[in-house]
């Protein structure tokens, strides 16, 4: 494992503190960003288009100047260094392969900047090309490579300089769906093998869940939540995270006298909560149609409007008095597919629902 | 955090210094001169008042508009007709037509005027031939002659601009108009022409500005019909010491007229007519019978009129002459007669052109880069200021330079450097446009990749950007070189005996009625130009650069 990276740089974390960015001095694009990335971690910035992911990445790379805040690597402050002295590898969405250089020269480019030559250079280029499984392509010109191969060259080129940090801005978004899945596994394997700290940008939540050690959910330039994929999925702390990752049903409710009120039902969540309107969130796979489950539930009267068969699973669209719900049917059978147009109760297991206040924060029952 | 002053910021500062010294300062000095009384040396409007008071000047002012509009209309009619025919119908020899059009753009600018004199002047060959048949036509001199020559000289610009626009029109729009019941001619005027308005107004502006800036044509065949450009030159260079105040005021008038037209064109083209998605392009329709004869006839007549001057020049350079008079039969007399003049003039032309183009390429690449990649107030302002040389007629730039650099602190008059500098600043915008066009083909992330791999941005520029835009730079450089080689009006004001160039030599020969030797020199210049243009197109991108 850990071929070379550790040998060159001591274990060092990246600490981004109080970082903010405004374009033209008015529109705030990043607002008070504080992140600590562990050495060797695969860290993903996830968020909708325009939330500031690229901006943050480019500030780290040194192509943009932040308005306030610092970036520290280990003990060294790096945000004051010019981009070409930061020793940060970058993989670009449009590959950015030098079209006038062949594969070998592309990968050797950064090594020549470091005045490497002879055996050392040869060995490093071969190593990098082998890592991305492109041996034998040395003499090819970029125009004679597929998109996936070009992106591999981009990765090899960034790895060859043995950067202290690897940045990737939606590196797979120009590839077709099948290749995207294949490449993301490759990227993950390479990253694990080299143990190189990586910041990865994507707006594809599935990709983020699949590839990351930790995910940072960004929206409107503000960090919504940082956590491991399972955490982000199962325990969203912000209503935005809940809605952005996976599919989520939201129902309007209220807290009255410490209890949750949903439609006509009022139920205690086992602790006190501040009164006021709330949003109740529940995932499609947690909904139960028909039979009453063993655990405590809120039950709503529903009407199945439509059931869509998706092969491995099916999705039912259920109308309730509080709004529409999407329910996943994991065990698909002709019987439950035929349930379209009938009335059925919908059960929301209490252990699975999340309650968000109007400020978007999760509400947890306080032990009385 | 303060932004760092990097290489590019320094380059931009240097660019502004160049502009201040080589463009703003000279222009400012003629503005000052135009407001200075010749008698008292004090601030006065008398020079401008004189333009409107004295018949000679206000005639020239009116003539400038007549010539400008006349040349513009003629060029538009010929150019658009040609473009419409070539894009609509299956015309034979398209490639030939385009080649001729490009060639016509780069022929020395004054060849047209005196070829028409050879053919239709007082002793013109055609005119005399017709006379011997008993047909008398008036010689070409005067207003109509000037307008005719402008039209024939400038229609290739219109042709190239509008045919590019016509090719981008979605043919479905025309079909839609047809299905709504509109007849063909109406469709052309109401749909097609409206869609290519930006190209048409741009052509109109260009041909108007080139017409009023033209100096050789009214000088050679205007006779009674003089324009502001010729007045400015005469006033500035007259043997009795000249009248710098008047020459400056007239120059400023010319500049203002151009400026007003630039603003009008911007206004006329304010609507974005680009179509969301480009649909089908039109397939040229086949031609049959009489229609084919008519269309081909008109097309080739226009083309023939366009290249006739060039043919005449080449042909007459090989005619036997005795002194300035053509004899029957062919010989190399004319070449022999000028052979001793060639080395100096050609040497100067090549030296000056090489020097100014080298400057244009270096400054254009660096500043073009700054404008594309570093958009801020200072670089956008720079981009805007570089519009100025487009509207400064060559003669005006010459006068401005002569007036600015003939006293302390910087005395340059009479040197080759002043010619190089003036050519540099006049052609820099064109060169820079070519750089900018090719830079837009290079994704910024390619450069960022270079930087993130550890090279200083300046090294990335030379190692990555320059190789990628090299074909564009080379093609742009060749085109700049060709225009520099053919430049007459600025040089004419600035040259002295030892800094004479090919075009100036040709001009003086033709002024003295020595058409044979003039033709021989022109043929040499044409050959060099032709080879360079051919090379520019071989390098690629030449078409984009135009
Ligand atoms: N040069 C600029 N000037 C002004 N605003 C900008 C500039 N570049 C980006 N922005 C704005 O900053 C915000 C964040 O942009 P950014 O490119 O970081 O988004 P992103 O999260 O990478 O989006 P995407 O997923 O679409 O790539 C956007 O609203 C964008 O409009
Ligand atoms: Mg982005």
Mean pLDDT of chain A: 89
Tokens of A366: 């306080």
Cβ atoms < 10 Å from Cβ of A195 = 17
Residue B307 lies in a domain: yes
Q: What percent of chain A is modeled with pLDDT above 70? A: 97
pLDDT band for B189, please (50, 70, 90 cuts).
confident
Q: Kindly list the residues from chain B whose CB atom is less than 8 angstroms away from the CB atom of residue A109.
A: 450, 453
Same domain, yes or no: B241 and B356: no
* Phi, psi of B278, rounded to the nearest 5 degrees: -80, 120
User: What's the pLDDT tens digit per position in B489-544?
Assistant: 899 888 888 899 999 999 888 888 888 888 899 899 988 888 887 877 776 544 44
User: What's the pLDDT tens digit per position in B210-263?
Assistant: 899 888 889 888 888 999 998 888 888 765 566 778 888 998 999 999 889 888
Q: Name A196's Cβ contacts closer than 8 Å, sequence gap at least 6.
A: A5, A40, A159, A163, A165, A166
pTM of the full structure:
0.74
Residue B323 lies in a domain: no
ipTM: 0.79
Same domain, yes or no: B185 and B248: yes
For residue B383, the enclosing domain spans 1-43+333-546
Same domain, yes or no: B307 and B374: no
CA distance B171 to B192: 9
Closest ligand 1 atom to residue A45 Cα is 21
Same domain, yes or no: B278 and B406: no
Whose CA is closest to A101, among A89, A90, A110?
A110
- CB pair distance less than 8 Å for A84 and B454: yes
CA distance B249 to A76: 64
Note the pLDDT of residue A367.
Answer: 63
B191 close to B174: Cβ distance less than 8 angstroms = yes
Domain count, chain B: 2
Residue B94 lies in a domain: yes
Three-state DSSP at A39 gives: coil
Q: What is the residue extent of each domain of chain A?
A: 14-240, 247-356
Mean pLDDT over A61-79 rounds to 92
CA distance A83 to A62: 4
**Is omega for the bond preceding B261 within 30 degrees of 0, making it cis?**
no
The DSSP element (H or E) to which A16 belongs, if any, is strand A14-23
Q: Is the pLDDT of residue A4 over 50?
A: no
Q: Search chain B and give the residue with CA nearest A85.
A: B454
A14-240 and A247-356: same fold? no
Distances from the Cα of B175 to the Cαs of A241, B130, B188, in angstroms? 51, 48, 11
Residue B326 lies in a domain: no
CATH match for A247-356 among 3.40.50.620, 3.40.190.10, 2.40.50.100, 2.60.40.420 = 2.40.50.100
Q: Is the pLDDT of residue B188 over 50?
A: yes
Task: Tell me which range, A266-275, A345-354, B162-171, is most confidently predicted by mean pLDDT.
Answer: A345-354
CA distance B454 to A111: 8
Distances from the Cα of A275 to the Cαs of A260, A355, A357, in angstroms? 9, 12, 9
Q: Is the pLDDT of residue A165 over 90?
A: yes
CATH of the domain at B374: 1.10.3720.10
Mean pLDDT over A38-58 rounds to 94
Q: Is the pLDDT of residue A75 over 70?
A: yes
Q: Is the pLDDT higher at B267 or at B239?
A: B267
Same domain, yes or no: B355 and B461: yes
Q: Search chain B and give the residue with CA nearest A70.
A: B1
- CB pair distance less than 8 Å for A109 and B451: no
A85 close to B427: Cβ distance less than 8 angstroms = no
Same domain, yes or no: B312 and B429: no
Q: Is the pLDDT of residue A355 over 50?
A: yes
Same domain, yes or no: B311 and B345: no
Same domain, yes or no: B506 and B458: yes
Same domain, yes or no: B81 and B122: yes
User: What's the pLDDT tens digit per position in B348-365?
Assistant: 999 999 999 999 999 988
Burial zone of A222 (CB within 10 Å; 0-12 exposed, 13-18 middle, 19+ buried): middle
Whose CA is closest to B111, among B466, B418, B522?
B522
Residue B325 lies in a domain: no
Distance of CA A240 to the CA centre of its chain: 13
CA distance B31 to B25: 10
Residue B502 lies in a domain: yes
- CB pair distance less than 8 Å for A93 and B445: yes
* Phi, psi of A261, rounded to the nearest 5 degrees: -115, 120
Distance from CA of A19 to the nearest CA of B (A): 12
Distance from CA of A181 to the nearest CA of B (A): 24
Residue B3 lies in a domain: yes
Same domain, yes or no: B51 and B12: no
Q: Name A274's Cβ contacts closer than 8 Å, sequence gap at least 6.
A: A255, A357, A363
Q: What percent of chain B is modeled with pLDDT above 70? A: 93
Distances from the Cα of B34 to the Cαs of A103, B46, B55, B177, in angstroms? 63, 9, 19, 54
Same domain, yes or no: B376 and B279: no
Note the pLDDT of residue B104.
Answer: 78
Domain spanning A14-240: CATH 3.65.10.10? no
Mean pLDDT over A94-109 rounds to 91
Same domain, yes or no: B358 and B412: yes
SS3 content of chain B, % helix, strand, coil (to 5): 75, 5, 25
Of B288, B317, B346, the domain-final residue: B317
pLDDT band for B329, please (50, 70, 90 cuts).
confident
Distance from CA of A80 to the nearest CA of B (A): 10
Residue B327 lies in a domain: no
Mean pLDDT over A286-295 rounds to 85
Mean pLDDT over B63-89 rounds to 93
Q: Search chain B and give the residue with CA nearest A88.
A: B452
């Amino acid at each position: 494992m850990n071929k070379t990276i550790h040998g060159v740089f001591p274990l060092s974390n990246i600490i981004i503190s109080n970082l903010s960015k405004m374009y033209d001095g008015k529109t705030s694009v990043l607002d008070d960003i504080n992140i600590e990335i562990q050495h060797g971690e695969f860290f993903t910035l996830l968020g909708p288009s325009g939330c500031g992911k690229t901006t943050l990445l480019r500030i780290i790379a040194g192509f943009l100047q932040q308005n306030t805040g610092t970036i520290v690597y280990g003990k060294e402050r790096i945000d004051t260094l010019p981009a070409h002295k930061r020793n940060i590898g970058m993989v670009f969405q449009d590959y950015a392969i030098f079209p006038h250089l062949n594969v070998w020269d592309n990968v050797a480019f950064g090594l020549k900047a470091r005045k490497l030559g002879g055996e050392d250079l040869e060995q490093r280029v071969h190593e990098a090309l082998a890592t991305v499984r492109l041996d034998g392509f040395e003499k090819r010109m970029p125009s004679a490579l597929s998109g996936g191969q070009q992106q591999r060259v981009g990765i090899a080129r960034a790895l060859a300089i043995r950067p202290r940090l690897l940045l990737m801005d939606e590196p797979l978004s120009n590839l077709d769906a099948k290749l995207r899945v294949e490449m993301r596994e490759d990227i993950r394997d390479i990253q694990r093998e080299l143990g190189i700290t990586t910041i990865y940008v994507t707006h594809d939540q599935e990709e983020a869940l699949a590839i990351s050690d930790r995910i940072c959910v960004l929206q409107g330039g503000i960090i919504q939540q940082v956590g491991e994929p399972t955490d982000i999925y199962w325990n969203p702390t912000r209503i935005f995270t809940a809605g952005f990752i996976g599919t989520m049903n939201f129902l309007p409710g209220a807290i009255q006298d410490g209890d949750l009120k949903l439609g006509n039902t009022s139920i205690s969540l086992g602790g006190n909560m501040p009164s006021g309107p709330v949003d109740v969130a529940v995932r499609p796979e947690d909904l139960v149609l028909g039979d009453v489950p063993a655990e405590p539930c809120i039950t709503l009267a529903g009407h199945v409007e439509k059931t869509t068969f998706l092969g491995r699973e099916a999705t039912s669209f259920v109308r309730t008095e509080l709004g529409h719900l999407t329910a996943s049917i994991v065990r698909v059978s002709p019987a439950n597919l035929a349930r379209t147009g009938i009335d059925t109760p919908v059960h929301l297991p209490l252990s699975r629902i999340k309650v968000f206040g109007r400020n978007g924060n999760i509400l947890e029952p306080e032990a009385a | 955090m303060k932004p760092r002053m990097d290489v590019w910021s320094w380059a931009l500062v240097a660019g502004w210094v160049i502009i201040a010294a080589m463009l703003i300062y000279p222009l400012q000095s003629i503005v000052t001169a135009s407001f200075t009384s010749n008698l008292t040396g004090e601030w006065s409007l008398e020079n401008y008042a004189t333009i409107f008071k004295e018949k000679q000047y206000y005639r020239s002012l009116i003539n400038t508009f007549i010539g400008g509009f006349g040349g513009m209309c003629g060029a538009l009619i010929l150019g658009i007709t040609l473009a419409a025919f070539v894009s609509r119908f299956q015309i034979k020899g398209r490639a030939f037509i385009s080649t001729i059009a490009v060639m016509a753009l780069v022929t020395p600018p004054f060849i047209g005027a005196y070829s028409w004199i050879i053919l239709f002047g007082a002793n013109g060959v055609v005119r005399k031939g017709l006379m011997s048949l008993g047909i008398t036509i008036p010689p070409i001199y005067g207003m109509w002659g000037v307008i005719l020559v402008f039209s024939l000289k400038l229609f290739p610009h219109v042709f190239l601009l509008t045919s590019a626009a016509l090719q981008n029109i979605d043919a479905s729009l025309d079909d839609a108009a047809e299905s709504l019941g509109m007849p063909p001619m109406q469709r052309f005027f109401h749909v097609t022409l409206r869609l290519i308005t930006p190209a048409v107004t741009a052509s109109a502006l260009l041909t108007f500005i080139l017409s009023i800036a033209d100096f050789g044509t009214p000088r050679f065949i205007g006779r009674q019909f003089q324009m502001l450009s010729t007045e400015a030159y005469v006033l500035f260079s007259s043997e009795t010491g000249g009248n710098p105040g008047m020459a400056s005021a007239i120059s400023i008038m010319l500049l203002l007229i151009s400026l007003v037209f630039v603003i009008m064109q911007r206004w006329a083209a304010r609507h974005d007519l680009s179509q969301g998605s480009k649909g089908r392009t039109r397939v040229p329709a086949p031609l049959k019978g009489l229609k084919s004869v008519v269309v081909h006839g008109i097309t080739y007549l226009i083309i023939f009129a366009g290249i006739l001057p060039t043919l005449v020049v080449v042909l007459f350079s090989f005619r036997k002459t005795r002194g300035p008079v053509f004899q029957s039969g062919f010989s190399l007399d004319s070449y022999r007669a000028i052979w001793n003049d060639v080395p100096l003039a050609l040497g100067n032309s090549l030296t000056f052109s090489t020097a100014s183009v080298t400057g244009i390429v270096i400054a254009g690449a660096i500043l073009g880069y700054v404008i594309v990649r570093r958009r801020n107030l200072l670089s956008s302002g720079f981009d805007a200021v570089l519009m100025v040389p487009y509207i400064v007629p060559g003669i005006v730039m010459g006068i401005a330079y002569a007036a600015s650099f003939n006293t302390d602190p910087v005395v340059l008059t009479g040197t080759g450097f002043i010619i190089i500098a003036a050519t540099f600043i006049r052609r820099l915008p064109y060169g820079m446009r070519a750089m900018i066009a090719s830079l837009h083909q290079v994704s910024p992330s390619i450069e960022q990749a270079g930087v993130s791999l550890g090279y200083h941005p300046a090294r990335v520029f030379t190692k990555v950007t320059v190789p990628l835009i090299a074909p564009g730079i080379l093609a742009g450089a060749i085109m700049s070189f060709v225009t520099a080689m053919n430049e007459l009006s600025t040089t004419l004001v600035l040259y002295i005996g030892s800094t004479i160039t090919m075009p100036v030599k040709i001009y003086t020969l033709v002024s003295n009625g020595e058409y044979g030797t003039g033709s021989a020199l022109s043929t040499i210049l044409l050959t060099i130009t032709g080879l360079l243009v051919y090379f520019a197109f071989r390098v690629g991108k030449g078409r984009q650069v135009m």
